[in-house]
Structures are given as structure tokens and as C-alpha cells.
Structure 1
Amino acid sequence: MQLIQKSLLLFLFFSSFLFGQNVAPVLQATGNQIYCPQTSLPIVTNMSITDPDDVGISAMYIQISSGYVFGQDVLTLTGVHPSISASWNAIEGKLTLNGVSGNPTYIAFIAAIEAVVFSSTSPNPSGQRVFSITVGQANYLVSTDHYYEFVPNIGINWNTAKDAAAASTYYGLQGYLATITSMDEVQISGVQASGAGWIGGTDSETEGVWKWATGPELGTVFWNGTVSGSSPNFAFWNTNEPNNQGNEDYAHVTAPGVGQPGSWNDLSATGATSGAYQPKGYIVEYGGMPGDPVLQISTTSTITIPQITGTTNATRCGNGSVTLQATANLGTVNWYTTATGGTPVFSGNSFTTPVLSATTNYYVDALPIGCTTPNRTMVTATINALPVTQFITPTTVCQNTSTTLTASTTAGVINWYDSATSTTPLATGTTFTTPNLSVTTTYYFEALNNNCVSARTPITVQVSIAPVVQDEFIGICENTGVTIHAGINNATYLWSTGATTQTIIIWNAGNYSVTITNSFGCSATKNFTATLYPIPRIDTVLVENDQITIVPLNVGDFEYSIDGVTYFSSPQFTITEGGLYTAYIREIHDCGYRSKNFVVVSTPPYFTPNNDGINDFWSVKGLQYYPKATTVIFDRNGQLITTLTQNNHVWDGTFHNEKLPSTDYWFIAEIPETQQIIKGHFSLIR
């Protein structure tokens, strides 16, 4: 490096000697340093200016070109410098050193620059500050090695500004409307510039396709679309820009106070005629063009404020030590037990604490020993107590009932589980109510305190079996008591009637129950449903020709018979032969029966009085059971043939002992007892 610098100086010296040109000075600064908050620090440790054809200059410029914090950072000239005055521009972050009269010597400027100090009013500044020291007024940015200059010219249009910038030079560097490709350039050319104005972007060629039309970036697209568009590289439009209101095709750095400092808006080529959107000038950028000379008219130095960039807390369960981590952007991490003051207990990125019994905070910074800061970074060693648990032994419960389990812990919360290995809690809290249990069951609980878990503890609920009962349906015959039985021995009993015996006698229909309690104190209830079965009674027996119906007097589950042997559910029967019969009715649950005699009257359709012993006589069968009944028989002419009574109840087919011929005869039978009159005819067949 020194060889290159010596060669450059020799080249400049002989060039000025041969061609008689004024050679630009070469500036060099050293002093990349660490800054302690609330102190003042010289921006360089050594400064040199070499100029083969001049011994002095009228002014020098020192700017915080990167990392500048407006309102906090300040550059100050200290000491006595009779030939030099200093002025601070807070907007630009620039300190100007001017000759009081004439051109102070480079030696005087070197002494002044070495006496310039940086300070910050912030109690906890951060980051890095880059200082550019240059012989010209243009702002110098070390990251691009370019120079930026705002040229005031109210109302200038974009095309005129573009031409004016291209006609500008700076120590032989070709000028152009600025092309801004990074936030560093936004800061130096916009935020820290003395004014705002045109830059080299336009979409005049294709609407919505924004390109740089100047400088080394000529033709590079930096934005596609309008407000909702996107950048293929870098753009810094203000909020709701570009909006293309009124054919706005040219990029402009917004005026101070309009939106984000240093951001852009689109304007027409002329802009507004007044106000914030009237162009106030343009920004010229120097550097990067073909044929530009190699200059060293600027130099830089850097100060860095050591800063903690990351921390890692640590946690453990129970007493012990933990390892805490911290990293810094520069320097060594120092560990303290207090937020301010004191001496480090350790230095390094990884700190293992002593044995701790409680949560403890440590504090870190990366400042050199002797620097102080009111805002060290806290790193916490968290000690979570291991829970200690206990529980209340549950009492024995009866089958199909629930119980509430109770446990406690010295720290954290209690979770309940259904197994020793399950991961999903049944419930959380100091109590847990089980579902109804049918068998002896074991549950488990553990305490959780900030990821510290106690041992999982079993709690067993003993379950006693309740008496096994089965409900019954009981039938009671009318006027008869029935004994019902609880069915379980060696227990206590409580009936719904109030009785406490194992059995009771019931007489009436209804619902009865008994609660049976065994020797374990477990109870079950047995239910009885009692139904009353009535004794059957016959109201009457209806006889209609050969159809017989037994009519009960009451309602019940009855069956019927006319022979007393075979019973049917239907009360209706068919009897074709007249005579005396008995009707039977019985209750199907053996709750008694009743019977009743009845007479069936029938009239034979013919008879054959031929003395063969078969159908030799005709009579109304069954009338013999009605003493008052009479039957008169007529021939077809209406002549009375005979009258039948109880004492003479058959006819042999004669009239005055003479056999009558085969033909049809008519009859009328009257039964006073039943108020019946039966009429009809029959045939005599010989």
C-alpha cells in the first residue's frame, strides 16, 4: 500500500511539473476506534495531507457519512486553532473547517482534524459511524467512493438539470444526475443533503418502467409499475408513490417534511410552480464514469460502539448452575451482577454461573473496561422449583358412583392422568372428579412448574360392588294378598311402604320398591310393578239361533268354554242342537272361574215317523227347560194339528190317531220366560 501511495505521489509530482497542472492533494487518516458512551473521542488517531504543489487550502470538510443520528451525534473542534474556524451543520452531519483568512496550511488543518472529536448525547448509542474527510464541499460516501452535491436552482426542469449535471465536474470527476442504489446513498444524497431535487430516474420511455437515465447505471430498470409495483434491485419511493398524477415521468427526492426523509416522488418534467412539489434544484453524483481520474481527496475513519447482538437465557429445574450465552458485534462480552457499575465476574461469550437456588439476572456489555453504560443487556438464569406433591387417600366408593380426588403441590399446577404413561391430562387442578366407577380404578397425578415435572403418583379408588337386583312384575288375584321378597340376604331393607323387613304382603296394584344396603354400605333399589287380576263373572249368555256369546260382567284377561275342558280366548260358540248347556269363564292367571247354565232352542227341519228309532218325532228342542213354553203346529191350510207343552212336547205325525201325509207343516213356539216367539216350518217325510 505504501509503495502504491509513493508511486501515486511521484506520478502526481512529475505530472504537475511537466504539464503545469494543479495536483489534487492526497488525504490519509487512521484511527478505527471503539467508542465509550457519554464520552468524546477524536475521529482520527493520525491524519496526513500530501500536496506536491500547494502548502495549504481554504477549507476542509468532515462529515458523518454513515450511521449518522440527527439530534444526537455531534462533531466538535477542540483546542486552539488561530487560523481555522469551525461550523457544524446538523442537517448534513457535517463539520466545516474554514480558514479565518487566506489559506491555512495543511499542517494547521492536520492539527485541527486531529482535534475534532465525536460525541453522542444518547446514553446508549449503537452501531458504527463512518467519518469522511475531504477537501471539497460535496458529500463523500465511502461505500461507493462517490461524491454527492445538491445544486440549488428553483423551478429548474428535469431535462435542464440532467444537462447541467452532465456539464459539471468535481476535481476532474464527471457529474451526472444522481443514481441512488442503496440506503447509504439515500442517507448521504437525500437525508444529509442541503436540499432536495431531481435525480436521474424516469419512465418517459415506457410508462411504468422506471430506468436510470444517467451515470454508470444508464438503462438499468429499478421499478416496475406504480404504487403497488416492485423493484428488481433497489428503490425508495415515498408512501403512495409513484402515482403518475398528471403524466409524472421523472424521479425527484421529496422536500424536507414530506413523507419519509430522502424518499422519492414522481413529477412532471417541470414539477409544480410553487410549494413542496416545486423543484428546488438537483443532485449531482460524481464517480464511476469512464475516464474519471483516480483521486484521494477524501479519506475515512470509523468508530464502532460495541453492542450486544444476541443473548441466550438458560433454565433448569432445582438448584444448580446454568450456562448463559451472549455475543457482541465487537470486543469481548463482560458479565456483571449489577445493571450498572461494578466489575466483571467473567469475560467471554459463554458464562457458567455458580450454583443457584433462585432465579438470578446477570448483565452484559461489550465495552472496554472503564466504559460505562446505563443500559446493559440482561441475561436471566431461571431456577424453577421442583414441585413436591401430596394427596388425600380416597375412601372406598360404591359401584357406579364417582368420587373426588384431592392433591396439592408446593409449586406449579397439578395434572391428572388415566395411566402412568398417558400424555393428555384428564383434568388440571387440585381436585379431580372421577366418572362413575364400576371397578377398582387407579389414577395418576403430577405437578408441572415451568417445565419442571414431579414424579407421577398413583391414587387407587377402591370400588365395592352394590347388591345385584332385578326388577319384578307381580300379579295379584282379586281379594288375595301376595308376598314380595327383596331377594338379597344379610342386608338392611327399606320399602317404599316404610317397612324394613325382607318381605312384605301387598293387596293392591301399583309400584313398590325396596332399597337394599349391603354390609359395605352400598345400596341398590329393586322395583316391583304389581297388577291386579279380577275374579271373572258372567253377566249373561246371549243365544241367537245357533250362535252363543258369553258376556262377562267385568273386564280382565279371560278365556271361555262350553264344556269346562277346552277354553278359548273368544267368547263366541256355535251350537246346533238345542238343549241345556253350561257356559264357563276363567281368569288366565288362575285367579278363579265362574259358570252359568243356558238353554239353546233348535227346530229340526224334518222328521221321519217310520218307527226306525231315528227322527221318529218332531219337537222344538230345548223347550222342555221352559215350563211355560207352548208350540202349535198347523198344516198348510192353517188347520191346528196339535199343541205341544212341557208335558206333551213331541209330535208323532198323526192327527186324531191318523197318520198325516208327507208334506210341510208350520209352527209357532212361544217362550214366556224369554219373551221369544219362534216361527217356521218343517217337513214330514214318510
Structure 2
Amino acid sequence: MKNIKLATFFFLFSVLSFNFSNANENMKTFNKKNTHSSKPSVNSNIKKQKKSSFVIDPPKLIAQGDQFYCPQTSINIVTDFRIDHDIAENGTQVLYIQISSGYSSGLDRLELTNPTLHPNIITSWDATSGKLRLSGTTSADIPYADFVSAVKDVVFTNSSATASGTRTFSITIGQANYLPSTGHYYLFIPNVGVTWTNARDLAASSTYYGLQGYLATILSADEAKLIGEQASGTGWIGGSDAETEGVWKWVTGPETGTIFWNGNANGSTPNYAFWNTGEPNQQGDEDYAHITQPGIGTRGSWNDLSNTGSLTSGDPYQPKGYIVEYGGMPGETLLEIAASTKITIPVAMPATDPAPVCDSGSFTFNATATAGATIRWFDALVGGNLLATGPTYTTLPLTATTTYYVDAGCESNRKPVKATIYATPTTPIAEKDTYTNCGAGSLTIKASSNIGIINWYASATDQTIISQGTTFTTPIISSNTTYYAEASNNGCKNTTRTPVNIVINTPPAVTDETLPLCQFKSITLDAGISGMSYLWSNANEATQQITVSKGGKYTVVVTSPENCSSTKTIMVEEHMIPQIARVDVEGTRAIIYPVKAEDYFEYSVDGVHYQDSTVFYDVPGGLQTAYAREKNHCGEAEKQFVVLVFPPFFTPNNDTYNDIWEVTGMENYPQAVVTIFDRYGKLVAQLTRFKMSWDGTLNQVPLPASDYWYALKVDDSMPVLRGHFTLKR
């Protein structure tokens, strides 16, 4: 621990023989060593002279210079500075200037300008703590006047164009960090492995220029940053939950008993707390607060440790020391060995840009700024003309969008504001005045203007936009309709709407057909509607009717005068002329067999009644004719056949009903012979073309009622037909 110059001196002199010219010879200066041990403070051990003595007051630092600062420039940290001191003490060895709040490491810097004007002073910049050390080139005291002159030449710079906020500078002749917002002093005491309780006692036994020390307590972000980030080391602070687990209190200094955290890692924060992520975790007896070592979690945050912390050398959780805070204890007098100034980076905050206007107009801009800063309005981001100062600026009438810029004194902080003017578009021009469509459907209509967008409406006065864009695809419409196009440019409307008409034309009504074409003939095909244009696909003809002589698919495009087309399809089916191969007869059933059967053939056995089936029942006996014809009368065929009918019985009683037995149809076969036998096989009659019937007698003698058998031989090409019948009396 380096020696710190004590501001308290005792002079021994004789009241009766006091001579100012030889005062230095009679003055004895006492330096205080702040050892931060359990030993009594040097202040309490200063011996007084036996006769008479007086105490030399500590020096009083007075600084002025609350200023505005523009980033990337340099500015003196004071506008005036002095050190009021006792006449018996003219200097000290070291003076410190620290950026005690708002410090931005790596960007902020303090340095002494014009070093040649201060030959007795050297400087050292500590970027971690944001502190500039001014000291002499020798171990001798440097006159206060030299320090005053040097402080007036210390400047602050920030290298970032986007810097913001406030910086507070503390100027002190003590080594401890001074925080103007609290008026307290903070000092890190290295002591590797020190326990929390020992650190507490050591801190309480130390003094600083008469101020009582205690383990630091932290009640604000400024304190946390100065102690945690800008201190030269990390260590114990005065927080503990040893009394009630999870309830963390400050247990040192004037804040003793103040709860700053209630609960574990997800607890509440009654006062400022800056725990590292996941802390406090309440593992074991971790009841004491410790500044987290750099590289572990969030820089400057706290964690909780046991009273000893880690006992492993080099471990991140091994205590490295403790932080002592001076100031605020009851009954203490104000110590003024430190002074402070600050710089504020002024920022202008423009209000929302005024609403756009159509075509031309003037605009009023408003802005607020950092307190005390003057708002300036410019026409360029860099340089440019100063247009006005103050929180409000009203432009001249404008006809085009214009960007202005506002700052609070720093060109680097200028912000753009925009006066937006939108031109009213021209009246829309439709691609077509009238669109046509053949039948119901959806159409794509188009309109355009010089700028902006096109809004489509269903009527000239309707305010409901149904579509936007230069093209509009309509819903399916089936009748004449008019839509209206209106041009709009960001709310600036040309209220003259352009109508776009849609005319729905009716296509020709055609009906597809299927027509038969008779074999070896021709047929006339008709489009079916007159007064149109025609185009036959198969024949490449343009007349309403065409004649074709072969089957197939024929199409014709029928086009109306409005150029609406419909396509008619005619299927021409070529039908053959029927031919009969044979007719089979089974009793009274006849079956017609065509040479080739077709669905469009129909059949008959009487030439009157036709049917699709080729089978006929109960055909009358005798010579018959079979007919086959095409249903559309393309042609027909005939073929005769004979139906032989054998009566199942006869009654030869001369009542004129069934008096004889004869084979109907036999007359068509000249060579046919029917032989009749009785039940015993005796030949009783024979029928030929010369004798076509039997009267039931043999040699003119009536035969008895009984069953009789017959055998019919038509000719040598046909089989013998056999059967029986009954003779009834």
C-alpha cells in the first residue's frame, strides 16, 4: 500500500515569538499511513506539542466546468479550478482525475495537453479504472499551483461518433476513487485469501483523511460501475444473508440493516442489486457478497461466497481483497479533498415527422434536447446553413420532399427530419375503354397513372376499394359491368375516376349431334345457326352446311358477329345395310341370323312389327318372311322361311272345328312325306302334296280315339321330324 499524503499537519511555534518568515523552520509535517490494518489510525497517534499547537486544515478542491461535449472532439475537464490550502502546506505528491460515472472503456480518455508547459509533472493513464494520475518527476511535493495549472490543461476525448450520455470527472489528491453522486471515496485493498469477517474488521479500523471506513455498500448503478468495473481489483463488499437465508442486507456502514435482495436467484430487488447470472445460488454457507472476478459472468456483478471463499490459489472464487468505502458515517464533517465536473453530450430528439402534404405546403418541426442545450436546425447533415434555433422550426412553402437536420450543438449528433410532399397523380388511363367477354367469366383489366397506385371501385362514388394495382382481375361476371379506376399517391388522390366497361356477349348456342350415314351414301351436316361465320375442321370449309360421305368426328367453329365462338361436334356413324344369313325354326319359334349384327339393326317376321331381338315366338305356320332393316332406313333385307305346325290333336266329328289333322306349311315342300302310325306301329295314313290332310279313317273306317305317331321327311337334306298327336272322338 502506497503512502497517501495526509492533509493534517501540526505546527509547533511560540505564540510570543511567532515570526512568519521562519514559520517553515518551526513547522513539522506528519504524514498519515493508511495501512488498513487493525492498528489505530495515524490521526489518533499524532502527538501535540506540550505548549501550544494548531491543526492544518486539509486542502479544499474547487472545480467548475459543467459543459456540453461533442463526440470525437477534445474538451478541458474544467473551466476553472483551484486548490484552497492552509498557508503552511503548499503541495502534495499525487493528484488523481477519474471518469467516475458514465465511463466507456476503450473510447473515453483523459490526457494532459501541453506537457512542455508542465515540466515538473508526469501522467499515467489507467484505462481499466478510467483514472489519470498526475505526479511529480521526483519524490518531492509538487506545489498545488503546478497541479492547478496542469488540471486546467487536462482534456477529455471520446473516439466514437455515436457516443452519448454524461461523464462525471472526480479530481482528488487522495488515491481513493471519488464518486460525486454519493460524495464518498472507494478504495480496493489487495489481500489474497482474506476472509469476509476479517475484511469487515480491517475496513472498519481504517480511516481516510479522518473518514471512517467500512466494507463498501452499493445503492446505485454508478456505485456498482465504479466499484465493480473501474476499481483496480475485486473483493468483498458489505452484503450478507447470514441472519436470514435468502434475505440479503447491507451489514456495514450507514446502510446497516437495509435489505437489497429478498429471495434466491429469482427473488425480488427491494433496492439496487447486481447479482451475476444465477446468483445468489444459496449453496452451502455462501452468505457473503463478493465482486465477481473479471472473466466470470457479467463484469462488475456480484456473487455469494462462504466466509473464506475458495481456498484454492488462483481460483476465480478465491478472495483477492476487499473494497472500503469512506463517507456517510454519522457525525463526520464534509471532506473536500475532491471536486467534480461533468460533461454532457447534448442530444436533440426530434418529434415525429409532420404529416405529409399533397403537392405543396409548409411544415413545422419540433424537437427537445438535453437540458440547457440549444437546438439548431440545418439544411445539411454536415456543415450546411443554420436555418433556425429553438425547439420549433417552420419551413418556407415547399413543393418537393426535403430533409432537414437538427442537433443540440454537436454536428456529429445531427438527426434527419423529413418534410414529405407527395404529388397528386394524373387521371388514370385505361388500357381499353371497353373490354368484351364471350359469356360469363373473369377478365383482367388495366389502367395506369404517372405515379402512385390505382384503386379500383365498383361505382363512381363508392368509397370501398375492391382492388389495388395497375391490373385488376375481376370476379366472374355474367352481365355488362363498369368498374372505376382512381389514382392515389400515398393518400394524395386524383378524384377523377376513369370508367372501364365490360361487355358480356353471348356465344352461339350450338348442340352436338350424332348422325347416321347409310352405307354407300352421303349426308349433309348443318352447323345449326344461320348468320354466323363457320369453319369446319375436317373439311376446311366455311359454309353453314357441308356434305360428307364417310363416318367420323366433324367439328365446326361457329363465330358470331361479336366474335364469340362456339364449337359444335357432329359424330357421323356409318351404318351398314343388313343381310340375313339364315332363319332357324324350332316349332313356332324363329331365329333370324344376320350376316353381321349391329346395334342399329332391327328385325321383324311380319314386316310391320320390328324389334331389336332376332328371336320370335308363336310364329304362324306356313311360308313366312324374315326382315332385317337399319333403324334409320338406310336399307333392309328379307328372307323366307317355313314354319311347320303339327296340331297336337283333332276331332273328326264334322263340326267344322279341327275335323282333320294336317301339317301347316307342308305345302311349301313338294317332296315332303308324312307317315302316320297307330300305337302299335301300324301304318294308317300317308300325306303328300297330293293329299295334305287325314280325316281319322283307314279305308274309310273311322279309327278309335287314341294317340298316333308321325314322321315327316321334308327332303334328303333335312332330318326326319317325329312326334305324336291325339285323335279325340
TM over 0.5: yes
Equivalent of 1:489 in 526, 530, 534: 530
> For 2:315 and 2:604, how far apart are their aligned partners in 1?
124
Equivalent of 2:588 in 546, 549, 566: 546
Q: Which runs of structure 2 are paired with 1:454-473 in the superposition (5 Å)?
A: 457-473=498-514
> For 2:698 and 2:115, how far apart are their aligned partners in 1?
182
State the match for 2:207 in structure 1: 169
Conserved in 1, the CA contact under 8 Å of 2:603 and 2:613? Answer: yes
Alignment partner of 1:319 is 2:354: no
Any unmatched runs of 5+ in structure 1? Answer: 1-15
Equivalent of 1:119 in 156, 165, 174: 156
Alignment partner of 1:376 is 2:414: yes
1:354-386 Cα distance to aligned partner (Å, 9 max, x none): 23333333222212xxxx644533323334444
**3-state SS in 2 of match to 1:187:** helix
State the match for 2:408 in structure 1: 366
> For 1:123 and 1:619, how far apart are their aligned partners in 2?
137
> For 1:174 and 1:301, how far apart are their aligned partners in 2?
25
Conserved in 2, the CA contact under 8 Å of 1:212 and 1:222? Answer: no
Say what the alpha-carbon RMSD is for the aligned residues. Answer: 4.3
> For 2:115 and 2:709, how far apart are their aligned partners in 1?
169
Q: Which runs of structure 2 are paired with 1:96-115 in the superposition (5 Å)?
A: 115=152
State the match for 2:75 in structure 1: 40
Q: CA, structure 1 residues 176+681, in 2 after alignment: closer, same or farther (shift >3 Å)?
A: same
> For 1:530 and 1:411, how far apart are their aligned partners in 2?
60
State the match for 2:641 in structure 1: 598
Q: Which runs of structure 2 are paired with 1:438-457 in the superposition (5 Å)?
A: 439-445=479-485, 457=498
Report the Cα offset of residue 621 of structure 1: 2.6
Q: Which runs of structure 2 are paired with 1:346-425 in the superposition (5 Å)?
A: 346-367=388-409, 373-388=411-426, 389-393=428-432, 397-400=436-439, 405=445, 407-412=447-452, 421-423=463-465, 425=467
Report the Cα offset of residue 66 of structure 1: 2.0
Alignment partner of 1:620 is 2:685: no
> For 1:595 and 1:123, how far apart are their aligned partners in 2?
116
> For 1:577 and 1:61, how far apart are their aligned partners in 2?
145
Report the Cα offset of residue 156 of structure 1: 2.1
Return 197-206 or 142-151, whichever deviates more: 197-206
Q: CA, structure 1 residues 483+598, in 2 after alignment: closer, same or farther (shift >3 Å)?
A: same
> For 1:61 and 1:79, how far apart are their aligned partners in 2?
16
Q: Which runs of structure 2 are paired with 1:173-572 in the superposition (5 Å)?
A: 173-202=211-240, 212-215=250-253, 216-218=255-257, 220-222=259-261, 224-225=263-264, 233-237=271-275, 250-255=288-293, 260-267=298-305, 269-271=308-310, 272-274=312-314, 278-289=318-329, 291-297=330-336, 298-314=338-354, 315-330=356-371, 331-341=373-383, 344-367=386-409, 373-388=411-426, 389-393=428-432, 397-400=436-439, 405=445, 407-412=447-452, 421-423=463-465, 425=467, 428=469, 439-445=479-485, 457-496=498-537, 497-553=539-595, 554-572=597-615
**Aligned residues with identical type, % of pairs:** 45
Alignment partner of 1:681 is 2:681: no
Report the Cα offset of residue 534 of structure 1: 4.1
> For 1:544 and 1:579, how far apart are their aligned partners in 2?
13
Report the Cα offset of residue 627 of structure 1: 0.8
Conserved in 2, the CA contact under 8 Å of 1:396 and 1:464? Answer: no
Q: CA, structure 1 residues 451+675, in 2 after alignment: closer, same or farther (shift >3 Å)?
A: same
> For 1:609 and 1:342, how far apart are their aligned partners in 2?
147
> For 2:703 and 2:65, how far apart are their aligned partners in 1?
171
Q: CA, structure 1 residues 508+418, in 2 after alignment: closer, same or farther (shift >3 Å)?
A: farther
Report the Cα offset of residue 649 of structure 1: 1.6
Return 648-657 or 172-181, whichever deviates more: 172-181
TM-score, normalised to structure 1's length? 0.81
Return 26-35 or 643-652, whichever deviates more: 26-35
Conserved in 2, the CA contact under 8 Å of 1:79 and 1:115? Answer: no
TM-score, normalised to structure 2's length? 0.77
**3-state SS in 1 of match to 2:599:** coil
State the match for 1:668 in structure 2: 711
Q: CA, structure 1 residues 622+27, in 2 after alignment: closer, same or farther (shift >3 Å)?
A: same
Q: CA, structure 1 residues 500+337, in 2 after alignment: closer, same or farther (shift >3 Å)?
A: closer
Q: CA, structure 1 residues 246+309, in 2 after alignment: closer, same or farther (shift >3 Å)?
A: farther
1:627-662 Cα distance to aligned partner (Å, 9 max, x none): 111011223332222221111121222222333333
Conserved in 1, the CA contact under 8 Å of 2:260 and 2:272? Answer: no
Conserved in 1, the CA contact under 8 Å of 2:430 and 2:448? Answer: yes
Conserved in 2, the CA contact under 8 Å of 1:34 and 1:303? Answer: yes
> For 2:66 and 2:528, how far apart are their aligned partners in 1?
103
Residue 151 of structure 1 aligns with an amino acid whose one-letter code is I
Alignment partner of 1:74 is 2:110: yes
Equivalent of 1:151 in 171, 189, 193: 189
Residue 542 of structure 1 aligns with an amino acid whose one-letter code is D
Report the Cα offset of residue 672 of structure 1: 0.8
**3-state SS in 2 of match to 1:220:** strand
Return 623-632 or 21-30, whichever deviates more: 21-30
> For 2:276 and 2:600, how far apart are their aligned partners in 1?
100
Report the Cα offset of residue 169 of structure 1: 3.4
1:114-145 Cα distance to aligned partner (Å, 9 max, x none): 84654325475532233345564432323334
> For 2:688 and 2:62, how far apart are their aligned partners in 1?
168
Report the Cα offset of residue 237 of structure 1: 4.4
**3-state SS in 1 of match to 2:542:** coil
Conserved in 1, the CA contact under 8 Å of 2:262 and 2:270? Answer: yes
Q: CA, structure 1 residues 46+544, in 2 after alignment: closer, same or farther (shift >3 Å)?
A: same
Q: CA, structure 1 residues 433+638, in 2 after alignment: closer, same or farther (shift >3 Å)?
A: same
Report the Cα offset of residue 148 of structure 1: 1.4
State the match for 2:7 in structure 1: none
> For 2:676 and 2:237, how far apart are their aligned partners in 1?
149
**3-state SS in 1 of match to 2:396:** coil
1:13-53 Cα distance to aligned partner (Å, 9 max, x none): xxx9x9988877776655544446635346255768598x9
Conserved in 1, the CA contact under 8 Å of 2:77 and 2:156? Answer: no
> For 1:334 and 1:26, how far apart are their aligned partners in 2?
39
Conserved in 2, the CA contact under 8 Å of 1:386 and 1:454? Answer: yes
> For 1:213 and 1:323, how far apart are their aligned partners in 2?
57
Return 493-502 or 309-318, whichever deviates more: 309-318
State the match for 2:167 in structure 1: 129
Conserved in 1, the CA contact under 8 Å of 2:261 and 2:267? Answer: no
> For 2:374 and 2:634, how far apart are their aligned partners in 1?
109
Return 351-360 or 75-84, whichever deviates more: 75-84
Residue 669 of structure 2 aligns with an amino acid whose one-letter code is Y
Residue 219 of structure 2 aligns with an amino acid whose one-letter code is T
Conserved in 2, the CA contact under 8 Å of 1:392 and 1:406? Answer: yes
1:289-348 Cα distance to aligned partner (Å, 9 max, x none): 5x3424253554443332223453344443333333322113221111233445521112
> For 1:637 and 1:391, how far apart are their aligned partners in 2?
112
Conserved in 2, the CA contact under 8 Å of 1:533 and 1:556? Answer: no
Q: CA, structure 1 residues 665+126, in 2 after alignment: closer, same or farther (shift >3 Å)?
A: closer
> For 2:528 and 2:580, how far apart are their aligned partners in 1?
39
Report the Cα offset of residue 211 of structure 1: 5.0
Report the Cα offset of residue 404 of structure 1: 6.3
Conserved in 1, the CA contact under 8 Å of 2:59 and 2:83? Answer: no
Q: CA, structure 1 residues 421+242, in 2 after alignment: closer, same or farther (shift >3 Å)?
A: same
Residue 403 of structure 2 aligns with an amino acid whose one-letter code is N
> For 1:36 and 1:543, how far apart are their aligned partners in 2?
126
Q: CA, structure 1 residues 257+548, in 2 after alignment: closer, same or farther (shift >3 Å)?
A: closer
Alignment partner of 1:574 is 2:610: no
Alignment partner of 1:637 is 2:676: no
